Structure 1
Amino acid sequence: MNLKFPFIAIIMISLFISCTGIPKNAIAVKNFEVEKYMGRWYEIARFDFRFERNLDNTTAEYTLNENQTVGVLNQGHDYIKDTWKSAKGIAKFIGPKDEGRLKVSFFRPFYASYNIIALDKDYKYALVVGKNKKYMWILSRTKTIPDDVKNNYLDLAKKLDLDIDKLVWVNHD
């Protein structure tokens, strides 16, 4: 009997599940309205990782597709190489469509978690985390964010044991 296929299937399922998690004690926003979330967001701060290293002027543009998936276009300026980078992806809801939990892929079939854990009522500011404490973004509809919103999001991040000292504050010019 060939045990190779079941072993590979278990590994693939484990990888899929592990890529769509949410950090301990983090709760995705409820009563989420995806249509209001569409449009351009400016990245105010993030944890640094290789896909966004050396980028400033970073934005994310979200569009709702006919099949209810979300088109993603991330862009930023590499200030070391003086070039613009962009990446197109697709996001899908993990659970109910009124909950801010999605999975996003720029390299199908691999997905990563996109958990919106704070969002103001007017959909102007958002705090997003990945599957674990290595991924965090503060987003705004404008290139700046009010201090009170910033401080609230930083306080929430600290309560979740996220290391806010590692945040990269994005330059927008």
Structure 2
Amino acid sequence: MRALVLAAFVFVTGCGFFTVYRDTDVPISSKAVFDVEQYMGLWYEVARFPVPFQRGCVGVTAEYALRDDGTVSVLNICRDPDGNESARISGTAEVVGPGRLKVRFGSVPFVAGDYWVLWTDEDYQTAVVGSPNGRSGWILNRTPQIRADRLQAARDILTFNGYDVSQLKETAQ
């Protein structure tokens, strides 16, 4: 449990030992027309930039649900190579602008991390998420497998936002 608390702290604070995966001189933009309700539900991580708190994780999922107070509940689950749940962390997110959320995990008080939805397809089946500091980024999909054209579109969005996609790692589902 301590490792998970540390992982959440590292995520939301963006500690200095993180690798920066994007050229922060390149402007980054979130999805201008963002429908938070369409974004809710279960997402499968199909690719990510390596971050310490996800080391060894496969079969990663993220689930979002709109709460009565307008915030979003967040549940991230990591599995081991055998498919067993190895870690979970829950928190909340607040929409602070179009496609821009501040994520907080209960185990790490007083700290929030930037979670920007950079792009979704029209039907919210594929999403690209990143952070302005460039220390994290994910490609998410509603199903464990992603079509090649959607994966390429997601990679193109990351490149447009200054990310070095050569460092992007596919996530085994």
Query: Normalization by structure 1: what TM-score?
Result: 0.79
Cα distance in 2 between the residues matched to 1:32 and 1:160: 17
Cα distance in 2 between the residues matched to 1:161 and 1:64: 30
* Partner residue in 1 for 2:43: 41
Identity %: 35
* Partner residue in 2 for 1:154: 155
SS in 2 for 1:94: strand
SS in 2 for 1:51: helix
CA-CA distance at 1:78 after TM superposition: 2.9
Question: Residues 77-156 of structure 1: matches in 2 within 5 Å?
Answer: 77-79=79-81, 84-95=86-97, 99-106=98-105, 107-156=108-157
| Alignment-mate amino acid for residue 125 of structure 2 | K
Q: Which runs of 5+ in 1 are unaligned?
A: 1-14, 16-22
SS in 1 for 2:53: coil
Q: Which runs of 5+ in 2 are unaligned?
A: 1-12, 14-23
Cα distance in 1 between the residues matched to 2:166 and 2:39: 28
Cα distance in 2 between the residues matched to 1:162 and 1:31: 22
Summarize deviations over 1:101-149 as a string: whole Å, max 9, x none: 0010122211111101111111100000013222110000000111111
Asked which structure has the greater CA Rg, the reply is 1
Give aligned pairs, total.
Answer: 148
Contact 1:57 1:77 in 2 (8 A): yes
* Partner residue in 2 for 1:65: 67
CA-CA distance at 1:161 after TM superposition: 2.5
How has the CA–CA distance of structure 1 residues 54 and 120 changed in structure 2, closer, same or farther, with 3 Å as cutoff?
Answer: same
| Alignment-mate amino acid for residue 100 of structure 1 | G
Query: Normalization by structure 2: what TM-score?
Result: 0.79
How has the CA–CA distance of structure 1 residues 83 and 150 changed in structure 2, closer, same or farther, with 3 Å as cutoff?
Answer: closer
Runs in 1 of length 4+ with deviation above 4 angstroms?
none
* Partner residue in 1 for 2:21: none
SS in 2 for 1:137: strand
Cα distance in 2 between the residues matched to 1:136 and 1:116: 10
* Partner residue in 2 for 1:19: none
Cα distance in 2 between the residues matched to 1:108 and 1:162: 29
CA-CA distance at 1:83 after TM superposition: 5.1
